[in-house]
Structure 1
Amino acid sequence: MTKTAYHHGDLRAELLRAAADQIAAEGVAAVSLRALAQRVGVSHAAPAHHFGNRQGLLTALAVEGFELLDAEMRAAAGDFRDVALAYIRFAREHPGHFDVMYRHDLLRADDERLIAARTRSGEALRAGVTELGVAPHDRRATQLAAWSLVHGFCALWREGALTNSQLGGDDPEELARRMVGAIEFVGATTP
């Protein structure tokens, strides 16, 4: 099967892409190393060679997700509203990653790459809140409120809770823009 692995070029990246696609379509419970190997067309041992086990695979997927999220939010740098929309856009465009990134029960929580990637991505959202001019004594609470707002919206959208809801709408992007545009934080000065 070594030849098959070479055929795929970057097998590790291909396995992560296939896992993200499967999670987005079928949920995280559907992912197994054996099924993933079959899906990609490699030996059953190939995913274990790259990730060790399912937890290693999901941890690598979460690391990749945090790196993608960080890049998305930094590209929108500055105004919190733009950073918040970047967070929401990431969750919509990468649902397979989003579904595992905060699932500590599925991940190697002590993985140094995971901790570093999570910390970097969090800095971008916290910096966006700082740009709002929030008073220093309110900053942590406001950062938590901001994260809860955007992550909660993403979770509600991903779980289908906005479908046929009086608070939902046909266009989740427009709904997100309106929600983020309505934000006024206690303790913020007028920008």
Structure 2
Amino acid sequence: MAATHTSYHHGDLRQAVLRAALEVIAGEGVTGISLRDLARRAEVSHAAPAHHFKDKAGLLTAIATEGFDLLAAALGEVPADAPHRLREMGARYVEFALSHPAHFEVMFQPRLLHDDAPELVAAKARAYAPLRSGVEDLPESGRNPDARRAGLAAWSLAHGFATLQLGGSLPELDADPATTFRSLVADAPQFP
């Protein structure tokens, strides 16, 4: 009996499907994702991706989890005693977004994810820990409630800048967008 489908054995089907999904998101956006199409791209049965992810939200949750872990690693590279630590974490956030645009597109869309999945919740906590630490290290923040507002402001600046940069809405002021971010934030009143 002749096979009608090319059989291909992946050493890690889960990773192969994730990589294919990231390529689709980078080219077509999240709306271009379909488990059946990803199975075709990976040359496996249409049911194989569902075995690992159950549904599209499960796949996107895995991508978001991976993204938050990558972001945590990028933010964690900023030494605790770095001058202008919070500013440097913002620049690393921008660099992460520009280096991983497909992850970035998925990470902040909770309606597309299993937002309460334990692995996603843990990855988010790992990514937010350096930011929280950076805000708490500010001389005037201490343990007062304004530290949460300062953290939200810092995150909003970096996230907004990255989003605008990815959308092609910002003028090119420097060869490196992270350099532009650093200089803009340095010029902002009362930003550490």
TM-score for the superposition, normalised by structure 1: 0.86
Measured after TM superposition, the shift of residue 2 of structure 1 is 11
Matches within 5 A, 1:1-191: 4=8, 7-78=9-80, 79-136=85-142, 137=144, 138-162=146-170, 165=171, 168-169=172-173, 171=175, 172-185=177-190
Paired with 1:120 and 1:53, the residues of 2 have a C-alpha distance of 25
Structure with the greater alpha carbon radius of gyration: 2
Aligned equivalents of 1:24, 1:77: Cα separation in 2: 31
Is the contact between residue 77 and residue 83 of structure 1 (CA under 8 Å) also seen in structure 2?
no
Flag as ranges the 4+ runs of structure 1 deviating above 6 A: none
Find the aligned partners of 2:48 and 2:140 in 1 and give their Cα distance: 50
TM-superposed deviation, 1:9:
1.1
Unpaired runs of 5+ in structure 1? none
| Aligned length, in residue pairs | 181
Q: 1:88 to 1:2 in 2, by over 3 A?
A: same
Contact 1:67 1:121 in 2 (8 A): yes
Query: CA contact under 8 A between 1:77 and 1:128: conserved in structure 2?
Result: no
Q: d(CA) in 1 for partners of 2:6 and 2:62? A: 22
Spell out, residue by residue over 1:35-63, the C-alpha distance to the aligned partner (whole angstroms, 9 max, x if none). 11112222111111110010100001100
Give the partner amino acid of 2:138: L
CA distance in 1, matches of 2:162, 2:68: 15
Unaligned runs of 5+ in 2: none
What is the root-mean-square deviation of aligned Cα atoms in Å?
2.0
Taking a change above 3 Å as real, the CA distance of residues 98 and 111 of structure 1, as seen in their structure-2 partners, is same
TM-score, normalised with respect to structure 2: 0.85
- Aligned equivalents of 1:155, 1:82: Cα separation in 2: 18
Do the aligned partners of 2:135 and 2:141 also contact (CA within 8 Å) in 1? no
